[in-house]
Structures are given as C-alpha cells and as structure tokens.
C-alpha cells in the first residue's frame, strides 16, 4: 500500500529546515543535556559535538524539544531507513505489543512470516537464519558459525572496519588503547582497497586489486597459523567514511577465499535492507557471501538483527547455542517484516539508487567549487565527503570536519561526523528537493569554514 500523501510525498522542501530559537541547541535542549550528562556517560561524537535533544521525528525530519525542525541526513545513524515513524512499521509494532511481547525462541506466526520473507528476498542460498537484537551479537554469532563450519579459528578483517563493541567485534575493527593491550589472539587486520587512498597501485597509478590479494596470500602464509575461518568485511565501510571498494574487489576476494577454503562473511548491519538500493549491498557486485549479518535499517529503528548462513553450512548454527532472550520477539519480527514489505510496496530500492546518483552528482559539483573537499563518494543513500588540507597531499582536515559538521547542524541539518569525513545516510524515502536543500546547507557551511580557515 502506498504511503499516505502527507507522510513524505508532499514534503515542502522550501519550508525545511525550520529554526525557531535564536541559537541552537536551544534552552530546553541545554537543560536536558545538563540533566542527562549528570547520569549517562559515553555519549557518541554526534551528541558531544552538538548536544541537541530531540522530541519527535516524522518522515525525513527531526524536531527538537525547542521546536526546531531539521532535515535528517543521519537516519538515526543508518537506522531509520524508511524515515521516522513510518506508519506501516509503527502500526505493526503497536499491534504486536498488544498481542505478545516475548516467548523466547518459540515460533510465532509473525516470526515464521519474517523468516520466509527473508529467505525470499535474499538472492543466494542463505537459508539458515537466526534472529538477534543487536548488530554486534549477530556478528559474534556469525564468527561462531564460521568456526564451527570450518574447524578453523582465525579471522581476517580490514583496516578501519567496524563490527561492533563486544570483545570479538572490537577485535575485528580498529583498536584503541582503552580497549586493552591488543586484539584477541587469532584476529588480524589487513588493508583493503580504498580508491581515494590506495596503498597498492599499478605503474599507471590505478588501484591494483591484485596486489592486495597477493598481500593477503603472503600475510596468511607468514603471519597466521593457516587456520583462517573467514574474511569478515563491511561491503562499504561506514564508520571509516563511506568507503566503496573498486568493483572487482569482492568478486576476486570470493575466488581467493574459495581457493583456500576460507569463508566470506559480509557484515551488512549498516549496508543492508535498502540503504544502498539493494536488499543486500553485496548484490552490487554479484558476490555471494557464506555468512551475512543485517541490522540497523532491518527494523527501521526497532532493535532487530539477523545472521544468515549458506545452506551448505546452516547446520552449524545448531552447534553454537544460537538462541537469545530478545531475538525474534514478535515486536521485532513485526517491525522487520513491515519494513521489508514497505520497501517492496513503495519501490524504494530503485528510489534509493536514483536519490544516491542525484546526490553524488550534486556532491561532485560541490567538490569542484571547494578546495578543501578532497573526495566525494557513496552508493545509494550511503554517502561521504572527505575534507583535506591539500588535495595533493590528501592530509586529513579534522578541524574543518568538526566545524562544518557544527555549522550545518546549526543551520538545520542533522547528520553524521567522522573526523575529517562527513557521512550522510538520508532516509531512502527522501525526495530530491529535500536532499538538494540539505546539500546546499552543507555547501554553505563549507563556504564559511573555508573563509574562516583562510582557504577562500
């Protein structure tokens, strides 16, 4: 069923954003932040850089407690893919909450419907499914399945990957000193092809995917015990700054893994379920993983995630004590099923691709006009702008990143920082007119920061 006309189709881009306080964060936001920080510790960089307090969301907008309405380029950090309070999802969760909230991992009608729908929309043979309540829990389960399926215990992931905040999830990603003296034994990081900052290039200066694979082969031979269970990768690196690999990377990595009996695990918690214009981002490269994790936009804001395993290895799920207290509860299943159905009914995969191409075209024009913009990139509604001090040296410009983020937020754009890389993940229901307004705010902020820092 199409969305009601007043949900997003008739959004007045000219009326957005709508700022009513003299300064933002406004007085009520400041008061709630003072009260909240008196008790809660460990806020994200988003909140630390701009401590606004939100009260409600509708479609592609967020409204704070002071009445200021923002264009949303964050989707709650890649979560509300279908926009805030999508009526189909909200109604499904409310109905489930009034019927049955939890019965552990017993089957329910809505759970079986979701499992069947997931099996239907995946394009490969991912017939083994388990449901969870957080992305990192799904990742941990995926690692256990890889070990059980192969009998091996080591894992390889990539520089700047992000796979969660539990023990093994942290070991798969970039480590900080506060996480301990080192990563868990048997977890290794290798570089992956970054078209803007390549490590290995051909004599003509092009990125050399083959050289990366050659390095992987030597690394496995020299730095591991040879008992590698899986490569674990994000299809597009999100936390690292919306880094899209060259098109030949995943098909060639698939061949590399097959030759060595290594599984390929795609962590699609951030990229899956419509964010890049496909149900699964790996579809862009026609590459079938052995294990997939999905989350974030899977339930459009409701905490529901999944691990999916190839039919060849799905019996391994039964060996890892895979059940969980909250995974697959009726409310979660209702949210996920409604989200998938909305994507299909409203043609949102094609819309996400078209919106992404439109935004990339606009971003390329911004890059041409501003010397501190080193690179723009993305796929579907997963996008990034990288700021540099000098285009030749590509030195990261973190100060500019913080300033542009804050200035754009003050002007009414809610979005995602990543040091010198500005990340964008608008809801895939956004219209081009609203997206253009958001990008115009970003360019205005870049103008101001360039002038302030002496680049005008």
Comparing CA positions, the residue from 355, 340, 240 lying closest to residue 297 is 340
Return the DSSP state at 434.
Answer: H
Residue 417, beta-bridge partner list:
422
Are 304 and 353 in a shared domain?
no
Are 62 and 97 in a shared domain?
no
- Supply the pLDDT for residue 127: 95
Are 356 and 341 in a shared domain?
no
- Supply the pLDDT for residue 316: 94
Q: Per the domain annotation, does 200 fall within a domain?
A: yes
Average pLDDT, the chain: 93
Are 247 and 133 in a shared domain?
yes
What's the CA gap between 403 and 55, in Å, rounded?
Answer: 25
Q: Which residues contact 373 (CB under 8 A, 6 or more apart)?
A: 366, 367, 385, 386, 387, 388, 446
- Supply the pLDDT for residue 1: 41
DSSP letter for each residue of 232-289? EE-SSBTTTTSBPPPTTHHHHHHHHHHHHT-EEEEEETTTTTTTTSSSSGGGGGT---
We report the CATH number of the domain holding residue 373 as 3.90.1150.10
CA 109 to chain centre: 29
**pLDDT one-digit tens code per residue, 135-187:** 999 999 999 999 999 999 999 999 989 888 887 878 788 756 445 555 688 89
**pLDDT one-digit tens code per residue, 40-66:** 998 888 888 889 999 999 999 999 999
Last residue of a domain, one of 321, 345, 369: 345
CB atoms within 10 A of CB 244: 22
Are 216 and 363 in a shared domain?
no
Host domain of residue 232: 88-345
346: its two tokens:
């409203």
Last residue of a domain, one of 345, 368, 401: 345
We report the CATH number of the domain holding residue 134 as 3.40.640.10
The per-type count for the chain, helices as H runs and strands as E runs, is 13, 15
CB-based burial, 248-282: b 16+ in 10 Å, e otherwise? ebbebbbebbeeeebbbbbbbbbbbbbbbbbbbbb
Q: Where does residue 2 rank: exposed (0-12), middle (13-18), buried (19+ CB within 10 A)? A: exposed
Average pLDDT over residues 412-417: 92
**pLDDT one-digit tens code per residue, 426-456:** 999 999 999 999 999 999 999 999 999 999 7
**pLDDT one-digit tens code per residue, 330-359:** 999 999 999 999 999 999 999 999 999 999
385: its two tokens:
């702008």
Q: Per the domain annotation, does 4 fall within a domain?
A: no
- Supply the pLDDT for residue 429: 96
Are 184 and 242 in a shared domain?
yes
Are 193 and 107 in a shared domain?
yes
CB atoms within 10 A of CB 411: 19
Give me the residue label for tokens 């990366």.
212
425: its two tokens:
């993940």
Cα angle for residues 226, 228, 234 (degrees, 5° grid): 145
CB 26 within 8 A of CB 66: yes
Are 163 and 308 in a shared domain?
yes
What's the CA gap between 80 and 294, in Å, rounded?
Answer: 14
| Helix or strand run (H / E) with residue 71 | strand 69-72
Inform me whether the pLDDT recorded for 4 exceeds 50. no
Comparing CA positions, the residue from 334, 336, 339, 342 lying closest to residue 96 is 334
- Supply the pLDDT for residue 199: 96
Q: Per the domain annotation, does 8 fall within a domain?
A: no
Task: Say how many domains are in the chain.
Answer: 2
């Amino acid at each position: 069923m199409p969305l009601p006309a007043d949900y997003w189709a008739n959004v007045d881009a000219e009326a957005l954003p709508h700022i009513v306080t003299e300064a933002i964060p406004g007085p009520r936001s400041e008061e709630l932040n003072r009260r909240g920080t008196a008790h809660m510790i460990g806020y994200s960089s988003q909140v630390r850089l701009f401590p606004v307090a939100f009260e409600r969301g509708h479609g592609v907008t967020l409204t704070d407690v002071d009445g200021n309405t923002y264009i949303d380029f964050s989707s709650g950090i890649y979560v509300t893919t279908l926009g805030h309070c999508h009526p189909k999802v909200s109604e499904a969760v409310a109905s489930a909450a009034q019927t049955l909230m939890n019965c552990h991992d017993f089957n329910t009608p809505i759970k079986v419907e979701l499992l069947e729908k997931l099996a239907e929309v995946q394009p490969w043979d991912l017939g083994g499914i388990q449901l969870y309540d957080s992305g990192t829990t799904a990742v941990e389960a995926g690692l256990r399945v890889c070990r059980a399926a192969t009998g091996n215990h080591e894992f390889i992931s990539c520089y700047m990957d992000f796979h969660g905040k539990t023990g093994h999830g942290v070991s798969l990603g970039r480590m900080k000193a506060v996480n301990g003296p080192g990563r868990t034994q048997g977890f290794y990081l290798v570089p992956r092809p970054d078209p803007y900052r390549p490590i290995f290039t051909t004599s003509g200066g092009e990125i050399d995917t083959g050289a990366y694979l050659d390095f992987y082969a030597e690394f496995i031979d020299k730095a591991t015990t040879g008992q590698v269970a899986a490569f674990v990768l994000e299809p597009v690196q999100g936390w690292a700054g919306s880094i899209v690999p060259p098109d030949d990377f995943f098909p060639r990595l698939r061949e590399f893994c097959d030759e060595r009996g290594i599984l390929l695990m795609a962590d699609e918690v951030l990229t899956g379920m419509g964010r890049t214009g496909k149900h699964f981002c790996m579809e862009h490269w026609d590459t079938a993983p052995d294990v997939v994790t999905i989350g974030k936009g899977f339930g459009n804001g409701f905490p529901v995630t999944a691990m999916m395993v190839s039919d060849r290895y799905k019996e391994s799920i039964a060996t890892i004590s895979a059940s969980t207290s909250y995974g697959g509860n009726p409310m979660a299943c209702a949210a996920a099923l409604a989200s998938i159905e909305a994507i299909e009914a409203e043609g949102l995969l094609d819309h996400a691709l078209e919106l992404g191409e439109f935004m990339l075209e606009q971003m390329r024009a911004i890059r041409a006009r501003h010397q501190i913009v080193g690179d723009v990139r993305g796929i579907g509604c997963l996008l990034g702008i990288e700021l540099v001090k000098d285009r030749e040296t590509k030195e990261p410009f973190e100060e500019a990143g913080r300033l542009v983020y804050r200035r754009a937020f003050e002007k009414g754009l809610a979005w995602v920082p990543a040091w010198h890389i500005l990340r964008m993940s608008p809801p895939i229901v956004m219209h081009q007119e609203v997206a253009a307004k958001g990008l115009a705010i970003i360019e205005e902020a870049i103008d101001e920061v360039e002038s302030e820092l002496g680049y005008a």
